[in-house]
Amino acid sequence: MLNQNVEKAINNQINAELYSEYLYLSMSAYLKSINMNGCAAWMNIQAQEERAHAMGMFDYIIRRGGKVVLEAIEKPQTEWKDVVDVFSSALKHEELVTSKINALANVAQENSDRATSLFLNWYITEQVEEEENFNDLVSQLNMLKNDSSALYALDKELGARQFVAPIIK
């Protein structure tokens, strides 16, 4: 049986992951509105990943005999200055998500829930990758922001990203 404190903390993280999905969909919509269709497609894939992250936790709670409690999802931001601002905001958001995952891992440790601690290792590793990806993209976009041809090429490259459902156990 899942510890009540751990269950509540995972439910809170499910909400945070679903908010991330919502935020990235909002970013995708904004990017489409400024004709950055490849970046929009990339961000849409990111939204799908966030939903998969939430569902991994959703399924975990159920497997451990707990109860999933879904809460309202906060309205995301809808406007940014430009494509660099979008990806910079996403990087800051991923840093926040990392801090939330780390806090969740602390709750599992404080409650001696080794199974949840092991389960969360996947998410901790994933956050390192997420921050690295966004950091790289922000760096590239900052280098290219005044070169429309290079920005166009990067947009096309990002549009080629394919969703691969993560295996979360």
Is the separation of the CB atoms in 19 and 73 below 8 Å?
yes
The tens digit of pLDDT for each residue in 8-43 reads: 999 999 999 999 999 999 999 999 999 999 999 999
Taking the CA atoms of residue 11, residue 73, residue 34 and residue 32 in that order, the dihedral angle to the nearest 10 degrees is 70
Residues 144 and 149: their CA atoms lie apart, in Å, by 9
φ and ψ at residue 17, rounded to 5 degrees = -70, -40
Q: Which of 28, 118, 113 is nearest to 66 (CA)?
A: 113
The tens digit of pLDDT for each residue in 80-125 reads: 999 999 999 999 999 999 999 999 999 999 999 999 999 999 999 9
The model's pTM is: 0.95
Is the separation of the CB atoms in 161 and 115 below 8 Å?
no
Dump the DSSP string for 102-154.
Answer: HHHHHHHHHTT-HHHHHHHHHHHHHHHHHHHHHHHHHHHHHHHTT-HHHHHHH
- Number of domains the chain contains: 1
Inside any domain, residue 42: yes
Inside any domain, residue 45: yes
Which CATH number goes with the domain that contains 115? 1.20.1260.10
Maximum distance among all Cα pairs of the chain, rounded to whole angstroms = 56
Which residue segment(s) compose the domain that 59 sits in? 4-158
Residues 11 and 61: their CA atoms lie apart, in Å, by 8
